[in-house]
Amino acid sequence: MPDPAAPTILVFDSGLGGLTVLREVKAVRPDASYVYLADDAAFPYGNLGEDELTARVREVVGAALARYAPDLVILACNTASTLALADLRAHFRVPFVGTVPAIKPACARSDSKCVAVLGTQATVSREYTRSLIRQFAADCHVVLVGSPRLATLAEAELAGGPVADADIAAEIAPCFVDREGRRTDIVVLACTHYPLLLPRLRALAPWPVDWLDPAPAIARRVVDLLGQPSGTIGPPAQLVFTSGRRPAPALAAALTRYGVSRFEPAST
């Protein structure tokens, strides 16, 4: 039986990349109730201007807070977090956990001191990302790689569509730098969509690297804020698309691997 005292956690992303975060958080708080809100009506966020994106996120998250009354919100989107997280915290009292490029741990862990940050073009161009480099990467060579297509390719593969190796390889190729005998040894995955493709990223890399996924750190932060689980098992996660669509059968089957089996058809 679900524990009525267990928290409700809202996981928000522009699309389905935040499923990788949901999976990690469910592993540490299996007792919680989860609502996964995918703002597919505005996907991809990189097409929105900064003011438009901030207003969009505030509107959609605000409506979800009124509807689901979560105890915590995970902003499982790097682009939204680097731009709208401070705005959300200023407008709403619920705790927020954001997703930002893991530049600090990557540079601390790197042996070659040659690190790539692979994100959307919007994320890698933000001043927030560049400030992280100035703060934490003084002894590292950091390559910023803005991928125009990888998030869309990840969603296509999740839905069962064909995604060519060559298309993925072209998106990740700029990450791999051999600079004065020092090769890239860590790639920061600065978009939650990218871990959906992790087996293929590993297979298509020209040499082995550590692909740094932010999801485990987010899960640890959730436990810091909400505490340890109660020992009960919560209900399956509920997925809501802002467009109001329901997932096609192939996508619905894939979503069960991430613990999602309830779908709300109404738009948000």
- Same domain? For 12 and 91 the reply is yes
3-class secondary structure per residue, 3-31: CCCCCEEEEEECCCCCHHHHHHHHHHCCC
Residue of 102, 75, 104, 101 whose CA lies nearest to 87: 75
Tokens of 208: 């082995």
Residue of 67, 121, 60, 48 whose CA lies nearest to 87: 60
pLDDT at 268: 43
- Checking DSSP bridges between strand 8-13 and strand 72-75, what pairing results, if any? parallel
Lookup result for tokens 């995604």: 163
**Domain final residue, candidates 195, 213, 231:** 213
In angstroms, rounded to a whole number, what is the distance separating the alpha carbons of residues 90 and 97?
A: 14
Total number of domains constituting the chain: 2
Domain annotation covers residue 1: no
- Same domain? For 28 and 40 the reply is yes
Domain annotation covers residue 2: no
Residue of 9, 41, 69 whose CA lies nearest to 222: 9
What CATH number does the domain containing 51 carry? Answer: 3.40.50.1860
- Same domain? For 226 and 143 the reply is no
Sign of CA dihedral 158, 160, 161, 166: positive
Point out the residues that are catalytic: 77, 191
- Same domain? For 37 and 131 the reply is no
Domain annotation covers residue 135: yes
- Same domain? For 201 and 139 the reply is yes
Domain annotation covers residue 183: yes
Q: Are 109 and 127 in contact (CB under 8 A)?
A: no
Lookup result for tokens 């890698």: 124
- Same domain? For 184 and 235 the reply is no
- Same domain? For 67 and 82 the reply is yes
Lookup result for tokens 């740094």: 212
**Domain final residue, candidates 213, 239, 255:** 213
Tokens of 215: 């999801």
Domain annotation covers residue 3: no
Q: Tens digit of pLDDT for each residue in 225-239?
A: 999 998 899 999 999
Q: How far is CA 148 from CA 47, 119, 124, 168, 172, in A?
A: 10, 9, 11, 11, 11
Tokens of 142: 């950091």
- Same domain? For 209 and 222 the reply is no
- Same domain? For 172 and 116 the reply is yes
In angstroms, rounded to a whole number, what is the distance separating the alpha carbons of residues 45 and 28?
A: 29
In angstroms, rounded to a whole number, what is the distance separating the alpha carbons of residues 96 and 10?
A: 10
DSSP string, 102-139: -HHHHHHH-SSSEEEEEEEHHHHHSHHHHHHHHHH-TT
Residue 115 structural domain: 103-213
- Same domain? For 61 and 86 the reply is yes
Residue of 128, 163, 161 whose CA lies nearest to 149: 163
DSSP string, 61-117: HHHHHHHH--SEEEE--HHHHHHHHHHHHHH--S-EE-----HHHHHHH-SSSEEEE
- Same domain? For 158 and 58 the reply is no
The pTM of this model reads 0.91
Q: Tens digit of pLDDT for each residue in 48-81?
A: 888 999 999 999 999 999 999 999 999 999 889 9
Domain annotation covers residue 162: yes
**Domain final residue, candidates 213, 233, 251:** 213
Domain annotation covers residue 46: yes
pLDDT 10s digit of each residue in the chain, 268 long? 456 678 999 999 999 999 999 999 999 999 999 999 999 999 888 778 889 999 999 999 999 999 999 999 999 998 899 889 999 999 999 999 999 899 999 999 999 999 999 999 888 988 889 999 999 999 999 999 999 999 999 999 999 999 999 999 999 999 999 988 899 999 999 999 999 999 999 999 999 999 999 999 999 999 999 999 988 999 999 999 999 999 989 999 999 989 898 998 654 4
